[in-house]
Chain A
Amino acid sequence: MKGRTLVRHGKEGLKNIGRNGWMSFASISAVTVMLMVVGVFLLLILNLNHFLESVEEDVEVRVYIDLTATEQEQEELRNDLEQLDHVESITYLSKDEGLDQLIDSLGEDNREVFESLRDENPLNDAFILRATDPQLTEQVALQAEELNDIDRVDYGKQVVDQLFKVTNVMRTMGIVLVLGLMFTAMFLISNTIKLTIVARQKEIQIMKLVGATNGFIRWPFFIEGILLGVIGSIIPLALVTGGYYYVYNNYASRLSLDFAELLPASPLSLQVSLILLAIGVFVGVWGSLTSVRKFLKV
């Protein structure tokens, strides 16, 4: 296609958007709302998945020793733990070491707060068990819970199971919501463009009579669809990217526990932005091309 023709199509596409200002505005808003929701869900789900993956790798069992246990009782507990099936190794982690680990895992900002806890360490001493096979972690943990002088037993899987339930619900909700919104946006766009086509029916009829190809006639509508999608993506892109950077920079360290951290903002926002832009453009183009099809029949 010649450059001049492309410029013409671009101008026509823009003109169409202006011609039906309010309907275009409604379409753009629909794309905007949809992409905001998609963006937020995408960020949540990606982070949850990342979180789950790191939790799954971390298959140790932490047996926290009751605060009242004497040294001898601790020794007995260690023996009992050694007797359990499928235990590969036992490591002792004193509460001071535990606090060190915790502080290390935190960002600079929060360190000082926790440093002040050194004098009154709220943690328990613990034994850290590794199962011979990660799959057996739960079994080891359940056995350990039966022993005396135990405050509590933590293992990754508990969290994982719970989170799996939450993510599945969220994923389903997200998909339903997103599909509903995508459909609404496409419907609005295809209706907007139908209006511009009705207004331009005579023009299209003449174009067909003098031998313009369907491709040629379709181009301005194609561009209009792209523009509606792109304009509709501007706000969600800015908010999702900006919002995530903000959350990441201000809360990432506070939110991160031993093993869970937010995905770094720098590649993630770009990836999510590209996905949102692609969805926006897809919805716009799909909406616009479905509406022209009927008018192009010979």
Chain B
Amino acid sequence: MRIIEMNNVSKTYSNGVNALNNIDILIEKGEFVYVVGPSGAGKSTFIKMIYREELPSSGSIHIQGSDITKLKSKHVPYLRRKIGVVFQDFKLLPKLSVYENIAFALEVIEEPRHIIRKRVMEVLDIVKLKSKARFLPDELSGGEQQRVSIARAIVNDPRVLIADEPTGNLDPDTSWEVMETLETINRSGTTVIMATHNREIVNTIKRRVIVIESGRIVRDELRGSYSYER
């Protein structure tokens, strides 16, 4: 079953920068996809299209069959509940504990308290941070912080997890920790899309690779490797 389908998607920012050109892509449920390419190629823009941080200038984007470019803005929150997002800089709230940071994502969509408890404990288990639930973000390593942000992204059980350079700020060892977590999540059936510059990871954990250059998809291989022409 296809979960994401882009047809002829182009994006020109208001300052005239042409970030994406005629993108066509199909992503099936449960896939693990790397998005690679040189800096400024349009990877982040591509990712932002999926959770409607940015709207395309033309073309259509279907998520689970419905065209999100036609979504009224009051329905956008409900789209976002189906998509988990992870950032390079974690975006954790420094004054909240690990537990509270994760629970926050469920509180603001008004889940009942007993469900929040249950779900937070489950995802803490997945990211292997149960013992650090009471810690503040500052008291954790970079890899642990990134895992907290992944836990927050998956706590409401999204269909798709997207991550924009989730290992960008991490040393190699911690990067592998994070990748392990993403793989675990992918194995449970969640589609994972990840923009990255990490050649070693892409070449070791072989998955589908989409290469974007100057706003165009120049390569799309099922068990690809990290390479693009400069």
Residues 182-236 (chain A) with a chain B CB within 8 angstroms: 202-203, 205-214, 216-217
Residue of B with least CB distance to A215: B74
Contact A210 B80 (CB under 8 A): yes
Partner among A1, A8, A217, A298 whose Cβ is within 8 Å of the Cβ of B107: A8
**CB pair B74 A209 closer than 8 Å:** no
Give B63-79 as 1s and 0s: 1 = Cβ < 8 Å from A's Cβ atoms. 00000000001101111
Contacting A at CB under 8 A, from B97-117, are 104-105, 107-110, 113
Q: How far is the CA of A149 from the CA of B228 in the complex (A)?
A: 116
Q: In the complex the two chains form, what is the Cα distance from A66 to B105 in whole Å? A: 90
Partner of A207, one of B52, B73, B108: B108
Inter-subunit contact A5/B81 (CB<8 Å): no
Cross-chain contact B105 with A213 (CB below 8 angstroms):
no
A-B contacts, 18 listed (Cβ < 8 Å): A1-B110, A4-B113, A202-B91, A205-B91, A206-B152, A207-B108, A208-B80, A209-B91, A211-B108, A212-B77, A212-B108, A212-B109, A213-B74, A213-B77, A216-B108, A216-B110, A217-B108, A298-B53
Any A CB within 8 A of the CB of B51: yes
B85 within 8 A of A: yes
Known pairs A210-B81, A210-B156; A203 contacts B93 (CB<8 A): yes
B residues less than 8 Å from A213 (CB atoms):
74, 77
Those of A72-116 within 8 Å (CB) of chain B: none
**Whole-angstrom distance from the CB of A199 to the nearest CB of chain B?**
11
Is there contact, CB below 8 Å, between B93 and A202? yes
Expressed in whole angstroms, the minimum distance between the Cβ of A144 and any Cβ of chain B is: 73
Q: Measuring CB to CB, which residues of chain A are less than 8 angstroms from any residue of chain B?
A: 1-2, 4-5, 8, 202-203, 205-214, 216-217, 298
13 A-B pairs besides A211-B78, A298-B53 with CB distance below 8 A are A5-B110, A8-B107, A202-B93, A205-B91, A209-B51, A210-B105, A210-B109, A210-B152, A211-B79, A211-B80, A213-B74, A298-B52, A298-B73
Task: Choose among B93, B104, B108, B152 the residue with the greatest number of A CB atoms under 10 Å from its CB.
Answer: B108
Query: Nearest residue in B to A217 (C-beta to C-beta)?
Result: B108
- Residues 108-138 of B, flagged 1 when their CB comes within 8 A of A and 0 if not, give 1110010000000000000000000000000
Contact status of A2 and B110, CB under 8 A, knowing A206-B93, A211-B80, A213-B74? yes
C-alpha gap A122/B163 in the complex (Å): 96
With A207-B108, A209-B51, A212-B108 already in contact, the answer to whether A298 and B93 are too (CB < 8 A) is: no
Chain A residues with Cβ below 8 Å from B105 are 206, 210
Which 5 A-B residue pairs are closest in the complex by CB-CB distance?
A211-B81, A212-B108, A211-B80, A210-B105, A211-B77
